[in-house]
């Protein structure tokens, strides 16, 4: 087993007011998006570990990305009393701009969670609505508060409470996958990478093989977390090798082996880590103060 190495660049730490999350948007180019209270800042990590701001998206936020296919939410103030919100299915063509594939005006929902297959957008809050070429295509689970969604091999995986619901492209529920007997709370995160799917509750992490998306197969599971609110995978030559997971209230980020869940590396933080993202050469971690919500971004050089 080769060692996992993480080296912290202290001088690459930057303070953000109300940092909401970090996302790798061009993994091969070491480019990340950092969401703040005012919008999104696109940052390139340089070869010496320093950073430079490439562009800023005001009144917009990266809501979802898998490193290429991306959902950007856009808020446009109509008048003093009403703001219209749009969702754009987009791709980061290069570090300077976005290719917008489709843009949709959203129906009013609460706390939207997004997923995309590159063209269509699934917007979830109280229920989920799929927006396609001709506008709204279907709406399901109207009485359910949706925590998160992900597009996996032609299916939409939708998390609500302790259930992970698998839905086909026509809006038909093909399977309800329950975590009710696991005794460790609601589903917080689902994250795909190639044929793998990571599913977390607040306290527990599960890794599945979803080569057959309708019939996931558990590879391993691991407990002992207290605040598993963000996950990301690291790939070497296109093969998933490790994953990073937050342990928010233990103030740690853990690096786990894909094969068996072994903890290979951990890093402690003064504040609470809330977000992790791998680029080609770096692991980027965002934390926040529990009272002021001021956040910082940390950059680690990473190799496997």
Q: How confident is the model at residue 61 (pLDDT cuts 50, 70, 90)?
A: confident
Alpha carbon 67 to its chain centroid, in Å, reads 10
Determine the pLDDT at residue 244.
94
| Confidence band for 1, pLDDT divided at 50, 70 and 90 | very low
pTM to 2 decimal places: 0.85
Q: Give per-residue pLDDT as tens, 248-272.
A: 999 999 999 999 999 988 888 888 8
The closest of 165, 222, 171, 213 to 192, measured between CA atoms, is 213
Asked if 197 contacts 177 with a C-beta cutoff of 8 angstroms, the reply is no
Q: Which of 101-105, 176-180, 293-297 bottoms out in mean pLDDT, i.e. has the lowest?
A: 293-297
What does the pLDDT look like over 86-107, one tens digit per residue? 787 877 665 556 677 888 888 7
Name the 3-class secondary structure at 272. strand
Longest dimension (CA), the chain: 60
Name the more confident of 84 and 14: 84
Q: How many CB atoms lie within 10 A of CB 293?
A: 13
Region 160-188: mean pLDDT is 86
Mean pLDDT over residues 33-43, rounded? 78
Coil/strand/helix, residue 250: helix
pLDDT at 18: 56
Q: Is the pLDDT of residue 239 over 90?
A: no
Question: What are 23's two structure tokens?
Answer: 């996302």
Q: pLDDT band for position 11 (50/70/90)?
A: very low
In contact, 86 and 76? CB cutoff 8 Å: yes
CATH of domain 5-303: 2.130.10.10
Q: In the structure, what pLDDT confidence band is assigned to residue 170 with cuts at 50, 70 and 90? A: very high
- What pLDDT is attached to residue 204? 92
Mean pLDDT of 176-184: 75
Instruction: Look at residue 287 in the predicted model and tell me its pLDDT.
Output: 82
Spatial distance between the Cα atoms of 69 and 25, rounded to a whole number of angstroms: 9
Write the burial class of residue 256 (CB in 10 Å: 0-12 exposed, 13-18 middle, 19+ buried).
buried
Q: What is the rounded CA–CA span in Å between residue 124 and residue 190?
A: 14
* Beta bridge pairs of residue 15: 296
Task: Report which of 254, 235, 283, 273 is spatially closest to residue 32, judged by C-alpha positions.
Answer: 283
CA–CA distance, 194 with 252 (Å, rounded to integer): 26
Paired strand residues for 295: 16, 288
> Please, which residues bridge with residue 127 across strands?
125
How much is the average pLDDT of 238-256?
91
**What residues form DSSP beta bridges with 176?**
165
Between strands 31-35 and 39-45, the pairing is: antiparallel
Between 224 and 84, the higher pLDDT residue = 224
Q: How would you label 201-224 residue by residue, b for 16+ Cβ within 10 Å and e otherwise?
A: bbbbbbbbebeebeebeebeebee
Q: Tell me which DSSP letter residue 28 carries.
A: G
pLDDT above 90 covers a percentage of the chain that reads 29
Q: What angle do CA 104, 62, 11 make, to 5 degrees?
A: 165
Instruction: Report which of residues 175 and 56 the model is more confident about.
Output: 175
Q: Where are the domains of the chain?
A: 5-303
Q: What is the pLDDT of residues 134-157, one digit of tens each?
A: 889 999 999 999 989 999 888 999
């Amino acid at each position: 087993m080769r060692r996992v190495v993480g080296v912290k660049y202290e001088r690459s730490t930057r303070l953000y007011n109300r940092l909401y999350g970090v996302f790798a948007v061009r993994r091969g180019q070491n480019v990340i998006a950092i969401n703040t209270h005012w919008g999104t800042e696109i940052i390139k990590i340089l070869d010496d570990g320093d950073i430079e701001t490439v562009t800023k998206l005001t009144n917009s936020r990266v809501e979802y990305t898998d490193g290429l296919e991306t959902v950007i939410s856009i808020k446009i103030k109509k008048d003093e009393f009403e703001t219209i919100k749009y969702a754009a299915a987009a791709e980061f063509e290069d570090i300077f701009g976005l290719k917008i594939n489709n843009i949709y005006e959203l129906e009013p929902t609460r706390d939207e969670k997004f997923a995309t297959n590159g063209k269509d957008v699934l917007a979830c809050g109280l229920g989920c609505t799929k927006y396609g070429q001709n506008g709204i295509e279907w709406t399901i689970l109207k009485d359910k508060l949706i925590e998160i969604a992900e597009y996996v091999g032609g299916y939409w995986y939708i998390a609500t409470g302790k259930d992970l619901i698998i839905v086909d492209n026509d809006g038909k529920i093909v399977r309800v996958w329950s975590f009710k007997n696991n005794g460790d709370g609601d589903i917080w995160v689902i994250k795909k990478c190639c044929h793998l799917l990571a599913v977390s509750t607040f306290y527990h992490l599960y890794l599945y093989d979803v080569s057959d998306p309708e019939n996931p197969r558990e590879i391993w599971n691991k407990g002992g977390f207290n605040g598993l609110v963000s996950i990301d995978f690291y790939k070497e030559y296109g093969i998933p090798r490790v994953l990073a997971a937050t342990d928010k209230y233990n103030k740690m980020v853990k690096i786990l082996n894909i094969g068996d869940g072994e903890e290979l590396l951990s890093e402690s933080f003064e504040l609470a880590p809330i977000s992790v993202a791998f680029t080609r050469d770096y692991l980027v971690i965002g934390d926040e103060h529990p009272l002021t919500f001021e956040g910082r971004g940390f950059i680690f050089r990473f190799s496997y």
